[in-house]
A = this chain, B = another copy of it.
Amino acid sequence: MVEYRQTEGLDRVFSALSDPTRRAILQALSRSPSTITEIAKPFPVSLNAISKHVMVLERAGLVHREIKGREHYCRIDPDPLAEATMWLEHYRQFWEHRLDALQVYVATKFKASKKGTAHGKLH
């Protein structure tokens, strides 16, 4: 039976990253920590919509929000991103090695078949 370990965190991170507005918010926050009002400025959507997107990022642990008076200050927390990158990187390397091995196998087969043909011609 398949085991699901440490999946909820990754579920939330990948789900949060699946939206272009949320990825753009993270990009903006990577330049500097900002208030919700500052984050919302360049987006063609309402302040409320941006606040909801930030909430999704917060639940995924990607953004940390601090409330000072009436302002909500947001900054990035890179740790969950590191976890997601590690997941992807691990499997990517694994698959690439498999593809490399396949290429070597195909190349060897190809050389062997060429040799076979050459051999056939000589005799």
Contact = CB atoms under 8 A, between A and B. Distances in A.
Contacts of A87: 23
B30 A7 contact: no
A11 B18 contact: yes
Contact of A85 (B19, B27, B88): B88
A44 B85 contact: no
Interface residues of A, number: 39
A99 interface: yes
A89 interface: yes
Contact of A88 (B27, B42, B88): B88
Given A2-B43, A76-B95, A95-B78, A10 B30 contact: no
Contact of A89 (B20, B76, B85, B99): B85
7 residue pairs, one from A and one from B, having the closest CB atoms:
A15-B18, A14-B18, A7-B20, A78-B95, A14-B17, A85-B88, A4-B20
